[in-house]
Structure 1
Amino acid sequence: MTNTTSDALNNLEDRFQKLVTRKKTQQLQSNALVTLPQWPNGMRGTPNACLRSALFAGVQGNERIAYKKRTLLAAVDGIEVRYLGVQLNQSDLDVWMQIVHLSRQQLPGFCVTFSAYALLASLGRSSGKSQHEWLKESMARLGGAFVEITFQGRHTFGEKGFLRYYRDENTQRYVVELTESMLRLFEEGYTHIEFEQRQQLRKQPLALWLHGFLSSHAAPYPMKVATIHRLSGSSAKTLRDFKYRLRKALDALVSIGSIESYVIGDEAVKLQKRPSPTQQRFLNGNSH
């Protein structure tokens, strides 16, 4: 790479950093989110709105659909999610969770820098050309999506994109700024996701969605099969087909110790799981 090209790339990165620093100063002068919550290195903090809805669907990449208008997605009571863009799935959530994890010790508005190789390795992926292209596609989906989330009908967060980024095409190094509206979702409640368990569920999108959803509940309640089908954004055309996928996904959760047992009835699913220490304190009526 010539010195002229190198200087141009450095200037572009400097400009990106200056824009972010200017925004950071403006945010600190307003009622901005001060910092992200902290969590252990083996966990991934994730807003409940991302786990209790079809925003990051439990579907394979080849099953994605494009929402061509502001579409209301399935979500639990109290949350409304509207979305415009190419459907996000659990692999996109992996990317966003990892970037948030890298950013958790920085003030919102600052950039986080990483190499594509390091991010792929952290997600247990190889570093071949196809995986680099997969990461570029995921970053584009996360950057281009328009998300609008309303809580209890009281206030709405709307933002184009979960992140903004600069990429050096020679080094494949990323400089990423996470959008503040999406980070503010943490203020409405978040969950610690056990990263090692999640890694064991790779390429099992419905199991991944269930893992996140169930992690966000201290004591799972019986749920209708049709409700899980709707909330997960599943592409299964019939409930019979979905029940088959659901059984395989729940078997996977039992095998990694995420849940202890389950029973799928004619209409409802009943689960047994051991709450985490934090969730147990919640169940005992203590704050965490």
Structure 2
Amino acid sequence: MALISNLTDRFEQLVKRKKTQSRVVEPLAAIPNWPATMRGTPNACLRSALFAGIQGNERIAYKKRTLLASVDGIEVRYLGVQLNQSDLDVWLHIVHLSRQQLPGFSVTFSAYALLTALGKGTGKSQHEWLKEVMARLGGAFVEMTFHGRDSFGEKGFLRYYRDEATQRYVVELTESMLRLFEEGYTHIEFAQRQKLRKQPLALWLHGFLSSHAAPYPLKISTIYRLSGSVTQNLRDFKLRLRKALDTLAAIGIVEHFVIDGDIVKIKKPPTPSQQRHLDNKQSG
């Protein structure tokens, strides 16, 4: 009994010391605001395979906590049915409705209004599609680590209640996922994104490129991993990539691009804020 008591005391002292040494986590402030024409998107969602550039019928299920591809400085581990760009569309629209609110407050909307805002039909199949998206967003487990110092995990991007009679939703966004905004976020032009509907790789590229003022050259194999592609070989993916970049160039998102062997070089027009960032880097 004395041994157990000593071990208990040592454990309690260790826990107390760890709590004292731990960095204090400040309460999350209100979600940032942005213009109605934009969608604020955490960079961690744009620079990783968390929301893959794949079709819905290409999804896989991660049955254990799996490390997804991401850029340096971000680690993403995921458990659940694979998310794609259509899931990101829904989450971003709910975040958009919630902007300037304090965490813990809910947002209410009808399925009809959300589907209409995303440019989708409003029939029975679309309502069922939305239910599936909400289930994926609510059931996924995500763990993030930034620069090897902060890790946080939470089940679900959101919690929700649905009135089956009216198809109205009451949604609360989970705090851990909203903390992604604290690690950097990008304004995505919603009208541009709407032009890329049903083109998942082009949608993923649009987000990835939007999060960079001046995209750096990338290997095709790197884009393959980061986009979460399930294409069987790089040759087929290269064809998909060229088609997606042609689409982005056609609507002015990309000025021009070159695929030289395994290297992709892309030039895009920076936003005004990105141009100021580039100017500051040059003057510094």
Q: Same fold (TM over 0.5)?
A: yes
Q: Shift of residue 184 of structure 1? A: 0.5
Counterpart residue identity of residue 83, structure 1: Y
* Counterpart position of 2:249: 254
Which residue in 2 is equivalent to 1:41?
36
Counterpart-to-counterpart distance in 2, 1:160 and 1:53? 18
Q: How does 1:258-273 map to 2 (within 5 A)?
A: 258-273=253-268
CA-atom RMSD, angstroms? 0.9
2:98 to 92, 103, 110: 103
Alignment correspondent of 1:124? 119
2:207 partner amino acid:
G
**How much identity, in percent, do the aligned residues show?**
78
Query: Secondary structure at 2:274's aligned position in 1?
Result: helix
Determine which of 135, 140, 157 is the counterpart of 2:152.
157
Equivalent-residue separation in structure 2 for 1:237 and 1:115 (angstroms): 39
Which deviations, in whole Å up to 9, do the C-alpha atoms of 1:29-55 show, x marking residues without a partner?
Answer: x83211011111000000000000000
- 1:61-100 correspondence to structure 2 within 5 Å: 61-100=56-95
Cα distance, 1:110 vs. partner? 0.3
Deviates more, 1:105-114 or 1:198-207: 105-114
What is the Cα deviation at residue 105 of structure 1? 2.3
Aligned to 1:21: none
Residue 175 of structure 2: which of 173, 180, 190 is its match?
180
Residue 140 of structure 1 is matched in structure 2 by 135
How far residue 157 of structure 1 moved from its aligned partner, in angstroms, is 1.9
Structural mapping, 1:47-66, within 5 Å: 47-66=42-61
CA distance in 2, matches of 1:258, 1:109: 36
CA apart distance, 1:142: 0.2
Which residue is equivalent to 1:222? 217
Give 3-state SS (helix, strand or coil) of 1:284's partner: helix
1: distance between equivalents of 2:233 and 2:62?
Answer: 21
Higher Cα radius of gyration: 2
SS at match of 1:125: coil
Q: Given the two structures, how large is their TM-score scaled by the length of structure 2?
A: 0.89
What code does the residue aligned with 1:103 have? S
Say whether residues 1:283 and 2:250 are aligned partners: no
Task: List structure 1 runs of 4+ shifted beyond 6 angstroms.
Answer: none
Residues 182-221 of structure 1 mapped to structure 2, 5 A cutoff: 182-221=177-216
Uncovered stretches (5+) of structure 2, i.e. residues with no partner? 1-24
Q: Any idea what SS the aligned residue of 1:242 has?
A: helix
**What residue identity is the alignment partner of 2:99?**
R
Measure the CA separation in 1 of the matches of 2:152 and 2:62.
19
Q: TM-score, normalised by structure 1?
A: 0.88
- SS of 1:34 mapped into structure 2: coil
Which residue identity is paired with 1:48? N
Q: CA deviation at 1:230?
A: 0.5
Query: 1:204: Cα distance to partner?
Result: 0.2
Deviations 1:111-152 (A, max 9, x none): 000000000000000000000000000000000000001000
Q: Does 1:237 align with 2:229?
A: no
